[in-house]
Structure 1
Amino acid sequence: MTAIGLASWQRLWGELGAASVNGGLLNQLVAAWGERQRHYHTLQHLRECLAHFEAASMLARRPAELELALWFHDAVYEPTRDDNEQRSADWARASVLAAGCTPEVADRVHALVMATRTHQYAGDDPDTRLLLDIDLAILGAAPARFDEYERQIRQEYAHVPEAMWRERRPQLLRDFLARPRIYLTDAFHDALEARARENLQKSCAG
């Protein structure tokens, strides 16, 4: 599994053109991903995303920006709020600017994080498409990992009454099934689309 360490952190910021590297920010992010209210949106999910990125980084136009966006895409996560992506994106932009990177880099990273708010994208930016596919790769995971993901999501939304959960969760999953394709890049579509649909159909069937 991809390591989360200071060496890779320093390398990433060097590729972004940073004037300085904030090791304290790394600690803050790791702590954020480890907060108690998280069960799926944890360091496990971050590591899985970084592993998918490592395997598919050659598809990215600006790989360092995409990698940083993955670090921040769920950096703020509170299941009872609906502004997590906005707060995560704002934190990312402020951090990029504080490191001395250009405003253009900061704005692109901000936009990448914000794209995860709806997971719907009709544009042609390869980095946005790849980021969304990486974030949704869990839907095409092996059945055992997908089942674990489903349990983890339910734990995060333990505040939702069971009757409401049984109504709304399948509806969300059916929305993914209704899409012409779940994955926007050919690489992820070819590798995960069929299994993702099998997982989602099984979950919807109860």
Structure 2
Amino acid sequence: MENLVGRFREAVRAAGATAPDADLEAAGGYLIGRWSEPQRQYHTVAHLTAVLDVVDQFAELAPHPERVRLAAWMHDAVYDPRALGDANERDSAEFAEGLLATLGVPDATAAEVARLVGLTAGHATEEDDPDGELLCDADLAVLAGNDEAYAEYTAAIRREYAHVPDEDFKAGRAQVLKALLELPSIYRLAPLREQWESKARANLERELKG
């Protein structure tokens, strides 16, 4: 976890934070605590780390990778599987803006990170938004996993929604899968699309049929 805290400190400092390192590290530790809450089965520290790793791998595709990294940290900072609609994303965006402000990040940058967080509600970006595209593509990278990894992902999602009856869960999940398959492209950035699109679609179609 110490390495993760360091990654947060570096990202928030690159975004203009003026707070002392000790405060930045405390904030990173607090965020890790949120990502470790007991109601989480998929939206965990492992998911956070996976998203950060994709952002780091393709950072050159984003004009402001430090903002994308912070948005990755914040995008599920508030997570309640029982929440309705995009409440988690809205609350996470509001949380992000407030936390970053306390760390001395410029208001405009904090607001932009909050905007990026909000995009993860529907993973819809404008045409000229490479920062948003990288965040959304990184968040959806799990869809292109190998068969074992994808099975682990779907099992974790089901555990997260254990309170939902099987029939209702299956219907809701089918809506999500169909919406993703109806997109012109699941991944927006060309290098990621070339690597992941076909595998992700195959995984989604297999789950939908299953």
- Name the TM-score class by shorter chain: over 0.9
- Identity among equivalent positions (%) equals 35
For 1:6, the aligned partner's letter is: V
2:58 is paired with a residue whose SS is: helix
User: Matches of 1:118 and 1:69 in 2, distance apart?
Assistant: 15
Matches within 5 A, 1:1-206: 4-20=3-19, 21=21, 22=23, 23-82=25-84, 83-206=87-210
**AA in 1 matched with 2:90:** Q
Q: How many residues align?
A: 205
Partners of 2:88 and 2:169 lie apart in 1 by 20
Runs of 4+ in 1 over 2 A off after TM superposition: 2-10
Amino acid at match of 1:115: L
Task: Compute the displacement of 1:31 (Å).
Answer: 0.7
- Partners of 1:157 and 1:203 in 2: CA distance: 17
Q: Is the 8 A contact 2:9 2:28 kept in 1?
A: no
For 2:105 and 2:168, locate their aligned partners in 1 and report how far apart those are by CA, in whole Å. 45
| Alpha-carbon distance in 1 for matches of 2:134, 2:157 | 23
Give the distance between the partners of 1:103 and 1:45, measured in 2 at CA. Answer: 28
Measured in 1, the distance between the counterparts of 2:5 and 2:144 equals 30
Q: Deviations over 1:115-164 (max 9, x none)?
A: 01111223311100111000011111111111100000001111111111
Extract unaligned runs of 5+ from structure 2. Answer: none
| TM norm structure 2 | 0.93
In 2 relative to 1, CA 79–100 (structure 1 residues): closer, same or farther, beyond 3 Å? same
Cα 1:119–1:6 change in 2 (3 A) is closer
> Conserved in 1, the CA contact under 8 Å of 2:8 and 2:70?
no
Question: Matched residues in 2 for 1:8 and 1:40: separation?
Answer: 21
Q: Which runs of 5+ in 1 are unaligned?
A: none
What is the root-mean-square deviation in Å for CA atoms of aligned residues? Answer: 1.4
Q: What SS is found at the alignment partner of 1:84? A: helix
